[in-house]
Amino acid sequence: MAIRVQQDGFDPWRELAAYLDTHALDWAGRYGATAVFIGSLRDFSQGEVVSGMTLEHYPGMTESYLEKISAEARTRWELLDTLVIHRFGPISLGDPIVLVAVWSAHRDSAFAACRYLIDELKTRAPFWKQEATPGGVRWVEENKP
């Protein structure tokens, strides 16, 4: 189980390959399902063009909240491992913002746990988006499902 909250950009596909190389030793060959969610910065929001974004977070609480929901997912479903990476700071258009990956024996628990993690993260993890639009910067007031 790993959590990373970082300012640096990341390539989710390389992160997944690296994680498997370094962490899957205990469960190599035992997972039948990998569910992955990647959230990226798109160029529109609430009818406006978005040219960039800055993500604020609550250092410490963010990590502990992500740890908490990762542990919770492992009590609800039979999982082999989970990985969550989330950025903060300035984000460029098209950049990955979040990666959630879940490994399990079967797809039902992998899909369900991945969905649970990204939904809990979006509704409760202390991050705040500020978008840059032609009219200036604005705080995003609520997340869309």
Q: Does 142 interact with other proteins (rule: CB under 8 A)?
A: yes
Under rule CB under 8 A, which residues in 59-88 are in contact with other proteins? 60-61, 64, 86
Q: Is residue 36 within the footprint of other proteins (CB under 8 A)?
A: no
By rule CB under 8 A, what count of residues binds other proteins? 27
Output phi, psi for 22, to 5 deg. Answer: -100, -25
Angstrom distance (rounded) from CA 70 to CA 125: 12
Buried b / exposed e over 65-90, threshold 16 CB at 10 Å, is bbeebbeebbeebebbbbbbbbbbee
- Give the per-residue contact string, 40-59, with other proteins (x = CB under 8 A; - = no): ---------------xxxx-
| 101 contributes a contact to other proteins by CB under 8 A | no
Choices 19-27, 28-36, 103-111, 120-128 (CB under 8 A): range interacting with other proteins: 120-128
CB 63 within 8 A of CB 12: no
Determine the Cα–Cα distance for residues 34 and 57; give it in Å rounded to an integer. 28
Which residues bind to other proteins, rule: CB under 8 A? 39, 55-58, 60-61, 64, 86, 97-98, 118, 121-130, 139-143
